[in-house]
Amino acid sequence: MCGRYVIEDFQELSETLRQVPFQIDYDPNPTWNAAPSQRLPVIVEDNGAWHLRPMQWGLIPRWTKPGEKPKVAPINARAETLAEKPMFRSLVKRHRCLVPANGFYEWRRTGGPKQPYYIFLKDQPVMLMAGLYDTAKDIAGEPFQTYTIITGGPNVLMQDIHDRMPMIIHPEDAELWMDHDVDALEPLEPLLQPVAGEEMDLYPISTAVNSVKNNNPDLIEPIAEQDFLPET
């Protein structure tokens, strides 16, 4: 799965997507502990232009009544079943998005407390995670956008950490992923494959990341495996 991530440098995002200019619709803040229910930056296509907009992480379907608490608000959508799930099936057609991140966190079972790791691309400062979004209405009847991150099976680097990972879109494939003229899943399926393990790296970090109250650059500082101390 993907349940926490980092997005801290929007200049690097512009460099990653330099072939497709995008408009920043608000003043985004960096975060080193992006978590579900937070409003976070997401790239969408609107009337032929790309926009970076804030959306709440955790998909609330459009049929949810204004102000109603949804029964589920999935933070992840399984790539293998997108065509089967009513919540996601229609979104694949015209509600695909890109979720930028400098890296993401995952936790490995150790026999005791889980050890957190920071995972990132070696040669690309910002990864573009495949996502889906929807627009519901808040209690005042105003449009309210939320999103989910698409996950799939792990690559060889990740398989010892977790059995799921976010599906990352290469910059050269970003235009295809965002193309509204492509409204079927089949031509997009090659994009929803795990990034090769040799393109990524990871290292252990402090368990301070376990608390969403902690949000600073120290969270992505590496530690030695032997420095990991179980939480008390």
Is the model's pLDDT at 13 over the cut of 70? yes
Using alpha carbons only, give the angle 10, 131, 29 rounded to the nearest 5 degrees.
Answer: 25
* Catalytic residue list: 2, 106
Can you tell me the mean pLDDT for 116-129? 96
Is the model's pLDDT at 157 over the cut of 70? yes
Decide if 184 is inside a domain: yes
User: Contact 22/178 with Cβ under 8 angstroms?
Assistant: no
Decide if 122 is inside a domain: yes
Can you tell me the mean pLDDT for 2-9? 94
pLDDT in tens, 29-79: 999 999 999 999 999 998 889 999 999 999 999 988 887 888 889 999 999
d(CA 100, CA 102): 7
pLDDT of residue 66: 85
Element (H, E) at 127: strand 127-137
Domain containing residue 219? 5-227
pLDDT of residue 225: 67
Tell me the CA distances in angstroms from 133 to 21, 54, 195, 223, one per residue in order: 21, 11, 22, 36
Backbone angles phi, psi at 166, to 5 degrees: -65, 145
The pLDDT mean for the chain works out to: 92
pLDDT of residue 226: 52
Decide if 216 is inside a domain: yes
Tokens linked to 6: 């980092």
User: What confidence category does residue 147 fall into, taking pLDDT thresholds of 50, 70 and 90?
Assistant: very high
Number of domains into which the chain is organized: 1
* Model-wide pTM > 0.75: yes
Is the model's pLDDT at 130 over the cut of 90? yes
pLDDT in tens, 20-43: 888 888 999 999 999 999 999 999
Decide if 81 is inside a domain: yes
* CATH code where residue 85 lies: 3.90.1680.10
User: Contact 2/76 with Cβ under 8 angstroms?
Assistant: yes
Decide if 129 is inside a domain: yes
pLDDT in tens, 204-229: 999 999 999 999 999 999 998 654 44
User: Contact 193/167 with Cβ under 8 angstroms?
Assistant: yes
Decide if 123 is inside a domain: yes
Decide if 232 is inside a domain: no
